[in-house]
Structure 1
Amino acid sequence: SALSGGTGGRIGERGSSLSGGQRQRVALARALAADRSVLVVHDPTTAVDAATEARIATGIRRARTGRTTVLVTSSPALLAATDRVVLVDGGTITAEAPHEDLVRDHPVYRTAVLT
């Protein structure tokens, strides 16, 4: 709806007329539409604002219910929408728990995610 012409509008080759956040959302939408049993995404919301990121996190969780989704990210909004967070520090898994537990109990996680 933000594009000239709405959903029927023209987009430049390789998304050249889209902003970074719009290109990111299109790529994520395509990945979600493929509806695979396992989806791995790396920082799918780095080019969007915080409010949009929160909506995307909720949408991913809703769209991927019952399937495996691996998010490689340090985004608090995305991490808060997950069932489980695995903290890798120096190439080693150092903690595994829900986001809220790690924020409360793990100083390395808290620093990595909230600062």
Structure 2
Amino acid sequence: MILIIRDELLNPPTWFASFRDLTLICSLRLQVDIVIESDAADLYYRWLKSRGGMDFVEDFVRPGSENGLRLDTEFLYDPCIVTDRIAPENTHQLFQRIQSLAVA
């Protein structure tokens, strides 16, 4: 299964540590491939790579080019989990929602 994270969710108010935590537990516990959906892949790649954020991210894809479970700021494709940030207060809830959709 592929988890597609929209690039907007890498920007504040997302906490970088929470992004790392979510990608870590999804990758290890759910065995999902994680990709970032972006039109500015080079910019986000350099930013993530310099902070150690690429450890559990497989690749970057263009918006709408990949099928899978999406984590996005708005509902554009199905299946999709909509959130405005990845932060300590919602990381566990996001993981549970991803887990329930990944096994369905």
TM-score normalized by structure 1?
A: 0.31
Q: Which structure's residues are more often helix, by fraction?
A: 1
Structure number with the bigger relative contact order (C-alpha 8 A, sep ≥ 6) is 2
TM-score normalized by structure 2?
A: 0.33
Higher gyration radius (CA): 1
